[in-house]
């Protein structure tokens, strides 16, 4: 019977490590995006990490831009190298198309988050107004 608590502790610590790695990826995502080649950067700037499960890292792309997920699949070796470098170990990257609005947003400063949400919500109604002097 003592083996059950040890297994439960291992599961909790593995989950905690995965959550810490996901938090690290979310926090450092802009740095990771900047570190990849320009062709890869254009694709991964639209996605964000969704989960870390052992060696599997899942990246989510907006459903409306699912074609980027397909392009990212072709860039998988670059993505795996970049994510693996940030986590300090080899990883496998899986790309999925999902509704990112249902996933909590990555860490960002409040002003940029509000501005991005306003652009998303009011995209059709934005006006181009020059600088006011």
Residues 84-123 have pLDDT tens digits of 998 999 999 999 988 766 555 444 455 566 666 666 666 6
Question: Greatest CA span in the chain, whole angstroms?
Answer: 75
51 SS3 class = strand
> Where are the alpha helices (H) located in the chain, listed in sequence order?
3-35, 38-44, 66-74, 76-87, 110-121
Average pLDDT over residues 35-41: 87
124 vs 102: CA distance, rounded Å: 22
Look up the CATH number of domain 3-103: 3.30.300.180
Strands 92-98 and 56-62 turn out to be parallel
How far is Cα of residue 81 from the mean position of the Cα atoms in its chain? 15
């Amino acid at each position: 019977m003592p083996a059950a608590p040890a297994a439960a502790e291992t599961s909790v610590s593995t989950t905690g490590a995965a959550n810490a790695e996901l938090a690290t990826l979310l926090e450092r995502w802009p740095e990771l995006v900047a570190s990849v080649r320009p062709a890869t950067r254009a694709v991964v700037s639209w996605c964000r990490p969704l989960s870390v499960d052992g060696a599997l890292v899942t990246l989510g792309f907006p459903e409306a831009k699912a074609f980027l997920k397909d392009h990212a699949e072709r860039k998988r070796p670059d993505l795996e190298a970049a994510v693996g470098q940030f986590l300090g170990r080899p990883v496998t990257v899986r790309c999925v198309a999902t509704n990112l609005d249902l996933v909590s947003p990555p860490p960002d400063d409040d002003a940029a988050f509000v501005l991005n949400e306003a652009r998303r919500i009011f995209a059709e109604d934005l006006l181009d107004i020059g600088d006011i002097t």
